[in-house]
Amino acid sequence: MLPLPHAMMDEQDRKLYTLLALQELGSCTHMQLLYFMFENDIMTFFDLSLALGELVDDGQAAKMAHPADSLYTITEAGKELLSFFANRMPHSKVKLITEQAPAWRERFTREKQFVSKVTQNASGEYILHLNLMDGFTSMLSIDAPIPDRSLAEKMASRWEKNAGDIYMYLMNKLGEDQ
């Protein structure tokens, strides 16, 4: 037998849980927030998508461009709303979010610092996009055509481990006297 889907949350619960998660996690992508919410059984994709749209429209969350993807963050208006209605949320959910957030925040910070993705252009060529970020500042950005998707994905997966060494190599090489 298939599991029954969760009933949709009411609008206020969706917003409050999302604001609390954004406050505890810091800025994150829709997908990062979805992983956090889903893995901790807080809300579904549809509830989260509705909440983010509503919160951005109401000015309680902001959506900002970033090479990793669009980042969502809580605004002052969102913090104010959360403080007014914090006691409306069940203590168990608040505790779950606040206890789980630190480990996820660390992971999400790394993901936003070492951005790597593979795309395919109109001619069918794979492009490896690599970014080394310091907040919203790109320290190094590389776009390279790669002939094979599996090779491009392998290279993308190695970016986080090697980005610092590659950056230092370039800076040393470019700064050398010839």
Within this chain, do residues 26 and 101 fall inside the same structural domain, yes or no?
yes
**Distance between CA atoms of residues 3 and 25, nearest Å:** 29
What's the start-to-end Cα distance of the chain, in Å?
Answer: 71
Which is it for the CA torsion 71, 75, 78, 83, positive or negative? positive
pTM, full prediction: 0.69
Residue 43 lies in a domain: yes
Question: Which token pair is 162?
Answer: 């090697």
Within this chain, do residues 67 and 132 fall inside the same structural domain, yes or no?
no
Domain boundary among 81, 112, 143: 112
Q: Would you write out the chain's pLDDT as a tens digit for each of its 178 residues?
A: 444 445 567 888 889 999 999 999 998 989 899 999 999 999 999 999 999 999 999 999 999 887 767 889 999 999 999 999 988 888 889 999 999 999 998 888 777 778 888 999 988 899 998 888 777 677 888 999 999 999 999 999 998 899 888 888 888 888 887 6
Residue 153 lies in a domain: yes
**Distance between CA atoms of residues 15 and 34, nearest Å:** 14
Q: Which residue has the tokens 């829709």?
A: 30
- Residue 66 has a pLDDT of 74
Residue 5 lies in a domain: no
Instruction: Please state, rounded to an integer, the average pLDDT across all residues of the chain.
Output: 87
Within this chain, do residues 22 and 38 fall inside the same structural domain, yes or no?
yes
Domain that holds residue 150: 113-175
**Distance between CA atoms of residues 136 and 149, nearest Å:** 28
